[in-house]
Structure 1
Amino acid sequence: MRLLIVLLMSSVWALTEAQHYYQGLMDYLENRMLAIEDRMELWNDQFHRYRAELQEFKKLTVDIMDGLGKGHSSLRLDLEGATGRVNRVESEMDYLETHTSPRACANQADMVLELGAWSEEESVGDEEDEDEWGEVHSSVSDCEDIVSSIRSVKILKRVGSPKGLWIRDARSSKVYVFNGTAEDTLYQFSSVLDFSSSLGVNHSRQIRLPSVWRGPGSAVYNSYLYYIQQEADSEIQVVKYDLRSGMVTDSAILPVDSSAPVYSLNPETTADLAADDEGLWLLYAIGEDEPNIHLAKMDPATLDIEEMWDTRCPRENAEVAFIACGTVYVVYNTRLASRSRIECVFDVNNVMLSEEAPLLYFPRRYGAHASLKYNPDEKQLYGWDDGYQILYRLTMKRKLLV
Structure 2
Amino acid sequence: MKPVLFVVLFVVLLGLSLDLAAAQQQALMDYLERRLQAIEDRISLWHEQTTRYAAELREVKQQMVSQLEVLDKRGEGLRSELDGLGSRVGRVEREMDYLDTQKETQPCVDVDERLVEQQVTVARERTKLKYAKLSGCKDVMASVKGMKVLKRLGGSAGMWTKDMTSGVGGVYVFNGSSSDTLHQFSSVRDFTSSQGTALATPLKLPGQWSGTGHAVYQGHAYYMEDSAELRLLKVSLTDGALADSSVLPLPDLVPAYALTPDTYVDLAVDEEGLWAIYATRESQRHLSLAKMDAGTLAVMQLWTTPCPRENAEAAFVVCGALHVVYNSRLPGRSRVQCVYDVGDLQPADEAPLAYFPRRQGAHSSMKYSPHEKLLYAWDQGYQILYKLTMKNKLEV
Q: TM > 0.5 between the two?
A: yes
Q: Cα offset for 1:138?
A: 5.5
Aligned equivalent of 1:309: 303
Measure, in 2, the Cα distance between the counterparts of 1:284 and 1:160. Answer: 25
Measure, in 1, the Cα distance between the counterparts of 2:339 and 2:79. Answer: 34
Aligned equivalent of 2:112: none
Task: Please state if 1:220 is matched with 2:216.
Answer: yes
Measure, in 1, the Cα distance between the counterparts of 2:359 and 2:161. Answer: 19
**More helix by percentage:** 2
Q: Cα offset for 1:219?
A: 0.2
Match of 1:328 among 318, 322, 343: 322
8 Å CA contact retained: 1:384, 1:390 = yes
**CA distance change for structure 1 residues 135 and 399 in 2, over 3 Å: closer, same or farther?**
closer
Task: Give runs of aligned pairs for residues 234-253 of structure 1, distance below 5 A.
Answer: 235-253=229-247
Q: Cα offset for 1:155?
A: 0.8
8 Å CA contact retained: 1:327, 1:346 = yes
Q: Cα offset for 1:175?
A: 0.4
Q: Cα offset for 1:343?
A: 1.0
Match of 2:169 among 170, 173, 194: 173
Q: Secondary structure at the match of 1:196?
A: helix
8 Å CA contact retained: 1:103, 1:357 = no
Measure, in 2, the Cα distance between the counterparts of 1:134 and 1:100. Answer: 30
Q: What is the TM-score when the length of structure 1 is the normalising length? A: 0.68
**CA distance change for structure 1 residues 253 and 103 in 2, over 3 Å: closer, same or farther?**
farther
Task: Give runs of aligned pairs for residues 212-291 of structure 1, distance below 5 A.
Answer: 212-231=208-227, 233=228, 235-257=229-251, 260-287=254-281, 290-291=284-285
Encode CA deviations 1:193-236: one digit per residue, 9 max, x unaligned: 110110012431000001001110000012111111131x3x22
- Amino acid across the alignment from 2:225: Q
Measure, in 2, the Cα distance between the counterparts of 1:137 and 1:360. Answer: 25
Match of 1:151 among 134, 145, 149: 145
Q: What is the TM-score when the length of structure 2 is the normalising length? A: 0.69
Aligned residues: 298
Measure, in 2, the Cα distance between the counterparts of 1:85 and 1:278. Answer: 48
**CA distance change for structure 1 residues 289 and 400 in 2, over 3 Å: closer, same or farther?**
closer
Match of 2:155 among 146, 158, 161: 161
Aligned equivalent of 1:70: none
**CA distance change for structure 1 residues 288 and 201 in 2, over 3 Å: closer, same or farther?**
farther
Q: Cα offset for 1:377?
A: 1.2
Task: Please state if 1:203 is matched with 2:203.
Answer: no
Q: Cα offset for 1:400?
A: 3.4
- Amino acid across the alignment from 1:318: A
Task: Please state if 1:182 is matched with 2:167.
Answer: no
Aligned equivalent of 1:14: none
Task: Please state if 1:300 is matched with 2:294.
Answer: yes
Measure, in 1, the Cα distance between the counterparts of 2:282 and 2:331. Answer: 23
CA RMSD of aligned residues (A): 2.9
Measure, in 2, the Cα distance between the counterparts of 1:147 and 1:88. Answer: 30
- Amino acid across the alignment from 2:358: R
Encode CA deviations 1:141-191: one digit per residue, 9 max, x unaligned: 431011111111101111111110000113231100010100000011011
Q: Secondary structure at the match of 1:214?
A: coil
Aligned equivalent of 1:39: none
Aligned equivalent of 1:375: 369
8 Å CA contact retained: 2:250, 2:280 = yes
8 Å CA contact retained: 2:253, 2:278 = no
8 Å CA contact retained: 1:98, 1:360 = no
8 Å CA contact retained: 1:317, 1:332 = yes
Measure, in 1, the Cα distance between the counterparts of 2:231 and 2:270. Answer: 21
Q: Cα offset for 1:256?
A: 3.2
Q: Secondary structure at the match of 2:324?
A: strand
8 Å CA contact retained: 2:287, 2:309 = yes
**CA distance change for structure 1 residues 133 and 239 in 2, over 3 Å: closer, same or farther?**
farther
Q: Secondary structure at the match of 2:249?
A: coil
Measure, in 2, the Cα distance between the counterparts of 1:82 and 1:208. Answer: 52
8 Å CA contact retained: 1:98, 1:359 = no
**CA distance change for structure 1 residues 202 and 268 in 2, over 3 Å: closer, same or farther?**
farther
Aligned equivalent of 2:380: 386
Of all paired residues, the percent bearing the same amino acid is 46
Aligned equivalent of 2:334: 340
Encode CA deviations 1:367-390: one digit per residue, 9 max, x unaligned: 100000001111000110101111
Higher relative contact order by CA 8 Å / sep ≥ 6: 1 or 2? 1
8 Å CA contact retained: 2:191, 2:199 = no
**CA distance change for structure 1 residues 85 and 192 in 2, over 3 Å: closer, same or farther?**
farther
Aligned equivalent of 1:4: none
Measure, in 2, the Cα distance between the counterparts of 1:165 and 1:358. Answer: 26
